[in-house]
Amino acid sequence: MKPHIVLKLLLLSLTFPVIALSPGDKVDNFRLLDHHGDAHELYYYSDASAVVLMVHGNGCPIVRNAMPAFREIRDRYADNGVRFLMINSNLQDTRETIMTEAQEFGYDMPVLMDETQLIGESLGLDRTSEILVINPRDWTLAYRGAIDDRLTYERQKAKANAHYLDDALKQLQSGQRIKVARTEAPGCIINFTDRDRESHAGISYASEIAPILQARCVSCHQTGGIAPWAMSSYNMVLGFSPMMREVIRTQRMPPWHADPHYGEWENDRSLTPAEKKTLVHWIEAGSPRGEGIDPLAATVAIAPEWALGEPDLIIDLPAHQVPATGVVDYQYLRAQNPLDHDVWVRAAELVPGDRQAVHHVITRFTAAGTDQRRAFRGGATGGGFGGYVPGSSVWLMPEDAGVLLPAKSNFVFQMHYTPYGKATTDESRLGIYFYDKPPTHRMAGTVLINVQLKIPPNAPAHSETTQYTFPQAAEIYGMLPHAHYRGKAARYTAYYPDGTNEVLLSVPAYDFNWQTFYKMAQPRRVPAGTRVTFTMTWDNSAQNPANPDPDREVRWGRQSWQEMQFGTLSFRFLAPGETVERATAAR
């Protein structure tokens, strides 16, 4: 072998130990969606006595054959706090085909979908039906191999003589050394098309990596932006590379929480599977600088103050002091619309006073003379201009559709401030743009609310559903699901009068930090009588790191230790001029 190749291989092995994870090695965290669309983060299961992963693949006789034994062990250890999951890295399998196979062969465990194959690569998976036992005390691999010695290719014994998985679990639970920590697992070979790590060293920082970061990250990761560090040069990116790998694997960054399986979104911030692979492979190859000028150092992004030009009306939000550290409860700031006549609004933009401190803003208004406290409770005529989150500050109505802002109406702004190490005063501003003449369509919108919610103490996944039925045909534009620290997942489903239904939006890993308005790429027309349900799921267990108190039964309230089920739905009726009278949906 030529000396430079030896050196390259040596360097590769120093960066990430990917090739095959051995017992005793650390298993890095990840988050994947299962075949039902539910999110699973490995490190969430820190209270388990063991996490067992079985490698799944459709159409593999050995997996099918091993299932009864796997289920039997699962049932026996269910009370011992062992968590059983399956993982599928096959390129050819989809949720739908897995669902069919699961029904036929009785897989009643979540099958985690590793679409990018990045997790399978890092676990060193090779064949389906292999078992990985992970020790949550230090997240090391305790055992990998076969369930037992019963199955081999095209032959099987009637009974197993060696019970590897069972033994490993017993030994792990009693704190003993795992006697047999590695065996060969028979199974169907998984096609990892992109596992050749040597070729990843050729990924170009200048022409492949930097453009992805510019498109997907820099709007927040720039000087003065909301993110704590700026992607302002290769060196910055190099320093944060291992952290970037972690946040991509756990899907924390970019902050976008919709399940890509349902719907398409105009403001989609997510990385495509190909972009994820390119970034992570480049990082795992040691983040090579390569040739070419550094695009991140060469560009200086200067955004205009108002993206749409000077507004027709500017509302100054009251100044608010943000401390240097700590957690600030959601603040509800008020302001009055000074206009003594109604106006039709075509756009609005929220410009944060201190971009680093303002994490999100939800703008609502209620008609003059109504109780402002109801702005976040429904029951009053009113509306909203959606939410501000970093990177999307403009709220643009569809063509020839507008929101009527009544004279002297009251604004209520829900502000989420995040202290960033320096005390500051925020003075945010709302810019509003009018139509010259009334548009044909009135933007409507409702809030699906459930003030009766009751979340039992310590419940890991408590769901409640509220709904709205369209009295007339309408066109839906988007939605913003909102809850507090215990929010876990959110889902909007449309039930059509013909008996069919469709998931409009699923947010499997809701994050209260990111109040995203999900704007449909194509507005969805729905007939009269369509019922839209909004299901919120909360995690009131101690495993939810944000949970202020798992022992409390939680009810509706504006304080962060209370909860909300507040889902906006923006639409317009197809008939011109129509509106919704009441802003509250029936439960």
Binding site for ligand HEC (CB under 6 A): 216-217, 219-221, 226-228, 240, 243-244, 247, 253-255, 269, 271, 390-391, 513
Between residues 239 and 577, which has the closer beta carbon with respect to ligand HEC? 239
Residue 384, strand partner residues? 364
- Rounded CA gap, 400 and 250, in Å? 41
Give the closest residue to 165 by CA, choosing from 193, 129, 198, 207: 129
- The distance of closest approach from Cβ of residue 407 to ligand HEC in the complex, given in angstroms and rounded to an integer, is 35
- The distance of closest approach from Cβ of residue 389 to ligand HEC in the complex, given in angstroms and rounded to an integer, is 6
- The distance of closest approach from Cβ of residue 393 to ligand HEC in the complex, given in angstroms and rounded to an integer, is 11
Please give the structure tokens belonging to residue 465: 């559903």
| Inter-residue contact 41 to 30 (CB < 8 Å) | yes
- The distance of closest approach from Cβ of residue 326 to ligand HEC in the complex, given in angstroms and rounded to an integer, is 15
Query: Which residue reads 């989609």 in tokens?
Result: 268
Give the closest residue to 446 by CA, choosing from 587, 317, 345: 587
CA angle 192-194-199, nearest 5°? 145
- Rounded CA gap, 236 and 230, in Å? 7
Pairing of strands 441-449, 401-405: parallel
Between residues 52 and 253, which has the closer beta carbon with respect to ligand HEC? 253
- The distance of closest approach from Cβ of residue 185 to ligand HEC in the complex, given in angstroms and rounded to an integer, is 34
Please give the structure tokens belonging to residue 292: 């070419």
- Rounded CA gap, 566 and 484, in Å? 10
The rounded radius of gyration (Å) of the Cα atoms in the chain is 26
Phi, psi angles (nearest 5°) of residue 132: -120, 125
Say whether 464 sits in a helix, a strand or coil. strand
**541: DSSP letter:** S
Indicate if the alpha-carbon torsion angle 76, 77, 80, 81 is positive or negative. negative
Please give the structure tokens belonging to residue 342: 């109604």
3-state helix, strand, coil in the chain (%, to 5): 20, 30, 50
Between residues 36 and 289, which has the closer beta carbon with respect to ligand HEC? 289
Between residues 255 and 382, which has the closer beta carbon with respect to ligand HEC? 255
- Rounded CA gap, 287 and 296, in Å? 15
Between residues 60 and 279, which has the closer beta carbon with respect to ligand HEC? 279
| Inter-residue contact 505 to 479 (CB < 8 Å) | yes
Between residues 232 and 579, which has the closer beta carbon with respect to ligand HEC? 232
Between residues 20 and 243, which has the closer beta carbon with respect to ligand HEC? 243
Query: Which residue reads 């969606």 in tokens?
Result: 33
- The distance of closest approach from Cβ of residue 238 to ligand HEC in the complex, given in angstroms and rounded to an integer, is 12
- The distance of closest approach from Cβ of residue 212 to ligand HEC in the complex, given in angstroms and rounded to an integer, is 7
CA angle 124-65-56, nearest 5°? 30
- The distance of closest approach from Cβ of residue 279 to ligand HEC in the complex, given in angstroms and rounded to an integer, is 7
Say whether 63 sits in a helix, a strand or coil. helix
- The distance of closest approach from Cβ of residue 411 to ligand HEC in the complex, given in angstroms and rounded to an integer, is 24
Between residues 247 and 461, which has the closer beta carbon with respect to ligand HEC? 247
Between residues 217 and 430, which has the closer beta carbon with respect to ligand HEC? 217
- The distance of closest approach from Cβ of residue 283 to ligand HEC in the complex, given in angstroms and rounded to an integer, is 10
Between residues 271 and 343, which has the closer beta carbon with respect to ligand HEC? 271
- Rounded CA gap, 151 and 517, in Å? 51
- The distance of closest approach from Cβ of residue 303 to ligand HEC in the complex, given in angstroms and rounded to an integer, is 14
Between residues 124 and 391, which has the closer beta carbon with respect to ligand HEC? 391
Which residues, including other chains, have CB under 8 Å from residue 422's CB and lie 6 or more apart? 324
